[in-house]
Structure 1
Amino acid sequence: MEQMPSDDIRTEQARKLATICYALYAISCIIGITAIAAIIINYLKRDEVAGTWVASHFEWQIKTFWYTLVGAFVSWLLMFILIGFPMLLAVGVWAIYRIVKGWLALNDGKAVDASKLV
């Protein structure tokens, strides 16, 4: 019979995973591809972190990934009328803001309100 880890250990493991994902998302601002590894981790470990305050960070990261992807896609579509360039810059700044805000909250041991976009 498999023994469940205590809540403190489970929360600490979840916190470490969220930290890894924030790092992968931050690196993706330069490299790009590491966000794919982060989103896979977010979805694979989502059930394991459920019920902890860290679960809000997983939701925050998932929403950040998808909204950034959609924003980048729309920006690329609008490149031909030149509005796409400033839009892409705005999407990038917004994504960096979300990564920093979430990572700082995680570092402080606080949940984030994943229902908010900003």
Structure 2
Amino acid sequence: MDLNDIPMSPHDDQAKKHALLAYLFMVLGLFTGIFWLIGAVWAMAKARDARGSIFYDHYQNIIGIFWWGLGLSLIGFVLALFFVGYLLLLGVWIWSIVKLFKGLARLTSDKPYNS
């Protein structure tokens, strides 16, 4: 039996909507930093409500992208005095795009992030 064969509960539906909103804010945040923060805070605020839903790991993905992206970006800014910092910043940006769009694709297909 596939997950798509199981009807979503109202809890799952609500968790999906909040995760979608967080992903969209994070995608906008790739170009305007404030939305990056809004998406991460939204995911952190709604993660507790999503516990037990099939979409809970999407919240962990979004929060992980934020913290890893923030930490590696700070290192990249420090290293921007040298060329390697710009490469690190570019790598973090590309990594974030891949993770966000993989999450969006799985979420809109009604699948958990990790399966």
TM-score normalized with structure 2 length? 0.89
Deviations 1:7-64 (A, max 9, x none): 7111101101111001000000111111211122112111110001110100010001
Q: What is the CA-CA distance between 1:71 and the residue it aligns to?
A: 1.1
Unmatched 5+ residue regions in structure 2?
1-7
Q: Give the aligned partner of residue 62 of structure 1.
A: 63
Q: Give the aligned partner of residue 45 of structure 1.
A: 46
Give the partner amino acid of 2:86: F
Partners of 2:32 and 2:100 in 1: CA distance: 15
| 1:59-98 to 2 correspondences below 5 Å | 59-98=60-99
Q: Give the aligned partner of residue 25 of structure 2.
A: 24
Unmatched 5+ residue regions in structure 1?
1-6
Report the aligned-residue RMSD.
1.4
| Over 4 Å off, 4+ runs | none
Partners of 2:32 and 2:108 in 1: CA distance: 24
Q: What is the CA-CA distance between 1:70 and the residue it aligns to?
A: 0.8
Q: What is the CA-CA distance between 1:66 and the residue it aligns to?
A: 0.4
Partners of 1:81 and 1:44 in 2: CA distance: 37
Q: What is the CA-CA distance between 1:112 and the residue it aligns to?
A: 1.3
Greater CA deviation, 39-48 or 75-84?
Answer: 39-48
Partners of 2:12 and 2:69 in 1: CA distance: 27
Residue identity (%) = 23
Partners of 1:18 and 1:42 in 2: CA distance: 7
Partners of 2:47 and 2:17 in 1: CA distance: 13
Deviations 1:72-96 (A, max 9, x none): 1111111112110111101100000
TM-score normalized with structure 1 length? 0.87
Query: What secondary structure sits across from 2:33 in the alignment?
Result: coil
